[in-house]
Amino acid sequence: MSEEVDLFVIGAGSGGVRAARIASGYGAKVMIAEEFRVGGTCVIRGCVPKKLLVYAAHFSEDFEDAENYGWEVARPTFDWARLIANKDKEIDRLNLAYKSTLSKAGVELIEARAELVDRNTISVAGRQVTAEIILIATGSWPEMPKLPGIEHAISSNECFHLAKLPERVVVVGGGYIALEFAGIFNGLGSKTTVLYRGEQVLRGFDHDVRNFLADELRKKGISVRCRTDVARIDKAAGALAVTLGDGTAIDCDQVLYATGRRPLSRNMGLEKVGVGLDDVGAIKVDGWSKTSVPNIYAVGDCTNRLNLTPVAIREGHAFADSVFGNKPWMVDHADCPSAVFTQPPVGSVGLSEERARERYGEVEIYRESFRPMKHTMSGRSERTLMKLVIDRKSQAVVGAHMVGLDAPEIIQTLAIAVKLKATKQQIDQTIAIHPTAAEEFVTMRTPVAAE
């Protein structure tokens, strides 16, 4: 006999959990299924554990910097196993916290894989559940290329569970995941090489950001090699050899492939019930997150719209409000701020200079590069880049970009100004907080010459 619910959610990541909790708060009877752990990519194998490792990697420079601030620091030692064990404890805590949140909200959690039988029926853990509404929130998964020897490489998933810190690491990819892990390994002491087939890392970001960050990564000792293809990976004598397209090889102890992720939509019965997928497997949805089947919705990375955790949460909330709360609204994906937790980090919101020129034609560019105050005494050569992109006609700030200490924290606040279409004159009227790096955003007065 089939059980009946108002909403069945497949996938208990950030978007699915938010949707389930809010829908239950409106009185809906809700079940949610998760085949691995509650929390999804961000909490279990993404943003949260990665940020913890980024914090750890910063200490190597912090110990060095402390000496010029009067501290006598004994030669530090690093224990990878202790870091990973402590990271695991925190992820376990968050997993339990998410479960508790669902339980308190009255949502029934089923820890098993769910598949669609028909447009209203789900098979899960030997049970048949009939749902009026189904929400797919299964996220995405690292995609490994078809390459000789790819079985010797790992994805970002496995980085969090390595038995030991590798002495030499090759990271293949030029996106934010690749560069963040490159910074982690380098900061913790691994000799790190980044290989990217494109002309410059961080494709899609502002060109000044891309070039500036690549230079800063190289200054920190990371070998960043663009326009470089990998031909094969071989294992020999307890190490790995990465053979490049030109026939040369790099010896290393670990190869991380971070060249893309694919929506998790296969083998769920979606095609069988008529849910439309695009050529990469992303679930096609409209602005209301509705699929081609009227009672089936999808949010988060499995839709491949804007693959960021806060976006998935917003989409899940909008879905629940619209379908169960009689408060319809759609998520606005424009001007969404983002961060890259490299070392130094990147913060960005709005349009790159290139995109702004395509959309508005004439733009004004304000740009500053400087040595942050901290490093005037630490002696480190690391610099900060700040950039504002202005629509010349309206004077609206249409893009803001930063590379440097605290960039994500600063851009989060500046994103409000971009979202509200603040003008350069309004930014200029804002009193600076001194001495801070953030004050540069409100004190830049002279646009750079056209390039």
* Active site positions, annotated: 434
Question: How many Å apart are CA 407 and CA 318, to the nearest integer?
Answer: 29
The token pair at 376 is 């005037």
Question: How many Å apart are CA 260 and CA 142, to the nearest integer?
Answer: 6
Contact 392, 364 (CB under 8 A): yes
Contact 225, 195 (CB under 8 A): yes
The candidate with the shortest Cα–Cα distance to 374, out of 66, 55, 73, 52, is: 66
- Amino acid of residue 398: V
Between the alpha carbon of residue 260 and those of residues 69, 145, 153, 182, the distances in Å are 42, 9, 14, 16
Using the structure block, give the residue that is written with the tokens 């480190």: 380
The residue length of the chain stands at 451
The candidate with the shortest Cα–Cα distance to 206, out of 347, 326, 108, 315, is: 347
- 3-state SS string for the chain: CCEEEEEEEECCCHHHHHHHHHHHHCCCCEEEECCCCCCHHHHHHCHHHHHHHHHHHHHHHHHHHHHCCCCCCCCCCCCHHHHHHHHHHHHHHHHHHHHHHHHHCCCEEECCCEEEEECCEEEECCEEEEEEEEEECCCEEECCCCCCCHHHCECHHHHCCCCCCCCEEEEECCCHHHHHHHHHHHHCCCEEEEECCCCCCCCCCCHHHHHHHHHHHHHCCCEEECCCCEEEEEEECCEEEEEECCCCEEEECEEEECCCEEECCCCCCHHHHCCCECCCCCECCCCCCECCCCCEEECHHHHCCCCCHHHHHHHHHHHHHHHHCCCCCCCCCCCCCEEECCCCCEEEEECCHHHHHHHHCCEEEEEEEECCHHHHHHCCCCCEEEEEEEECCCCEEEEEEEECCCHHHHHHHHHHHHHCCCEHHHHHCCCCCCCCCCCHHHHCCCCCCCC
